[in-house]
Structure 1
Amino acid sequence: MSEPLAIVPQTDGVHRFVAYVDEAGDEGFGKLAAGNTAQSHWLSLGAAVVNEENDRHLPGWRDEIMSAFVSKKNQRDLHFRDLNHDQKVHACATIATKPIGGCVISSNKITILDANELEIFKRPQHLYNYLTRFLLERITAACKRRASAEGAKASLKVVFSRRKGTDYDNMRQYLEFMRDGKEKMKPVRSIDWSVLNPADIAVENHKVRAGLQIADLFTSAIWKALEPNVYGRCEDRYAKELAGRLLKINGHTLNCGLTIIPPYSKCPLSSDQRAFLDWVIDQKKKARG
């Protein structure tokens, strides 16, 4: 299998990457606090990351998936939620063979209900922006590591899937605020601003960009591995198909290509959720063995 984050030789010493970002789950807390299953327990924000050359191949890779589905072969809008189980497995298995990197941040919203910051996270877009920060910290770091290994610099463009109720100008201002060092408390990690300029953020409709549709696969696959269904069970088959494409640092996926909030050691997990995350951790051990 190729590197999760492939590169193409450049003549100007800059490796250019594109990250397509989508989400799964919702930001709501009101019904969740009342024990209502209408709101998700988890909110996941994820990205499909490619180099500039492979960005051109994304529509063809999307079409490769769709052509296998008799009822959808002439369609060009791939939506994870519209696929049946077998189609989801096939879609994820197909993308797992492509030089695409995946990165997903998943927040266990249940843990926020008892937190002092609940009122803050109830504000529109606050949790979404919070996860965006985590996501971009990890992606910019991965792009820089990959480019630096070739003695080059890295540049990242980010394309968000248009989302109702999200103010992307507000997000740019939030990123600029961080970039300019105006936060009262210095974060443990930081977005690498040598890789990303807040001006290099775009917003597109899901149906017109194959990259956003592939980001949907990564994000929804991980979300399904963590979000309990009406029977309290989780489905990790899709995430396991894609696990090899998740970004890694020193061979480790957890807290790089897959990050959960709160961290694994502090997060209340069901047996299904813990089994999946233990499986992810175990892949490093098997690789060394």
Structure 2
Amino acid sequence: MTSSFVAYIDESGDEGFTFLPDGRGSSHWFVQTAVVYRRPHDLSAVAALKAARATLGWEAKKAFHFCDMRHEQRLVMLNEVIKTPFRTVSILSYKPDIPDPERFQANKWMLYHYLTRLLIERVSWLCRDHMRPGEGDGTVDLIFSDRAAMSYEDIRVYINRLRAQAGMGTQVNIHWPAINMDSLRAVAHAQLAGLQVADAVATSTHYGVKLSRFGIADPSYLALLRRHAYRHRDNFRGYGIKTLTGFEQLQDRMPHLRAAFLNW
């Protein structure tokens, strides 16, 4: 039997910890996002990007790279994408709050792996909550946007290690019956429409929370996507949006975050 869901995973920002006063250096935020489609709706992403290309007058196979696009082009893409049925999960790390950053600097990919764990937890809950009998086997295929320097076999080993620790008093809360480890793979961004959508959602989320060197954030793209965030009992906090630092604490310190998540 085939899987019930497919999750496309991408990130925005970087994992560095060099924060300079003028805003250069490492990004303050690192965001990892999954865009989850039911398997029967997977091709709706292809149709949405095809429609956006037609509006923009782009060639048929031109890939969407959200950060390289102009504002108007981003709006065209997003307004086609939000017509399709999907849910999003984003893990947001405000890196200056991370204690012992030296530990993360000394262990390459440690932050990425940790956010991957939190992301897969919430993707697994989403699949558990929304599984339909007779529509696949209840599992989700995990497809990462390929980062050339990263070993995705290491991610597989990391997740399998978490699974082996299940029931040993750990705080890992992955719903394991939903995770199909055999299907985990990395694919080049340009090859799959779903990865281009994940890139757009991750970057939109990053734009909504990060401040430019002029002290300005842009939540306009994120606002278009708010109805697609995964909710449990109508609550998006801790589900469709998970922050490493407490959400209320961040909002108290950063008033622009209240605007970013207004009317969610």
TM-score, with structure 2 as normaliser: 0.91
Query: How many percent of aligned residue pairs carry the same amino acid?
Result: 24
Shift of 1:259: 1.3
Deviation at residue 197 of structure 1 after TM alignment:
3.0
| Correspondence for 1:201 | 184
Q: Which amino acid aligns with 1:64?
A: A
In structure 2, C-alpha distance between the alignment counterparts of 1:37 and 1:229, rounded to whole Å? 10
Tell me, what secondary structure is at the counterpart of 1:89? Answer: helix
Shift of 1:202: 0.7
1:18/1:49 contact within 8 Å kept: yes
- Residues 1:121 and 1:98: Cα distance change in structure 2 (over 3 Å): same
Q: Pick closer, same or farther for the CA change 1:95–1:137 going to 2, 3 Å.
A: same
Letter matched to residue 156 of structure 2? R
2:13 aligns with 25
> Is the Cα contact below 8 Å between 1:172 and 1:199 reproduced in 2?
no
Q: Distance in 1 between matches of 2:135 and 2:39?
A: 18
2:4–2:136 Cα contact (<8 Å) kept: no
1:83 aligns with 2:69: yes
Q: Distance in 1 between matches of 2:59 and 2:135?
A: 42
Per-residue deviation, 1:211: 0.8
CA contact (8 A) 1:140 1:195 kept: yes
CA contact (8 A) 2:6 2:42 kept: yes
Deviation at residue 49 of structure 1 after TM alignment: 0.7
Correspondence for 2:220 = 237
Which residue does 2:157 correspond to in 1? Answer: 173
Q: Distance in 2 between matches of 1:75 and 1:132?
A: 30
Using the alignment, how far apart are the partners of 1:184 and 1:33 within structure 2? 41
> In the alignment, which of 192, 199, 209 is matched to residue 175 of structure 2?
192
Alignment partner of 1:37 out of 21, 24, 39: 24
Aligned residues of 1:22 and 1:45 also touching (Cα < 8 A) = yes
Aligned position for 1:157: 141
Letter in 2 for 1:23: E
Alpha-carbon distance, 1:183 to partner: 9.2
Deviates more, 1:93-102 or 1:34-43: 34-43
What is the aligned partner in structure 2 of residue 275 from structure 1?
A: 259
Contact 2:49 2:80 in 1 (8 A): no
Please give the alpha-carbon distance, in whole angstroms, between the structure 2 residues aligned to 1:263 and 1:146.
27
Count of equivalent residues: 262
Q: Structure 1: which 5+ residue stretches go unaligned? A: 1-11, 284-289
C-alpha change, 1:165 and 1:34, in structure 2 (3 Å) is: farther
Against the structure 1 CA distance between its residues 66 and 151, is the aligned structure 2 distance closer, same or farther, given a 3 Å change threshold? closer
Q: Which whole-Å CA distance do the structure 2 matches of 1:183 and 1:124 have between them?
A: 27
Alignment check: 8 A CA contact 1:20 1:211 kept: yes
1:186 deviation in Å?
A: 1.0
Contact 1:162 1:205 survives alignment (8 Å): yes
* C-alpha spacing 1:198/1:78, structure 2 compared with 1 (3 Å): same
State which drifts further: 46-55 or 86-95.
Answer: 86-95
Cα RMSD, aligned residues only: 2.3
- In structure 2, runs of 5+ residues without a counterpart are none
Asked if residue 265 in structure 1 is aligned to residue 251 in structure 2, the reply is: no
* Bigger mean CA offset, 52-61 vs 261-270: 261-270
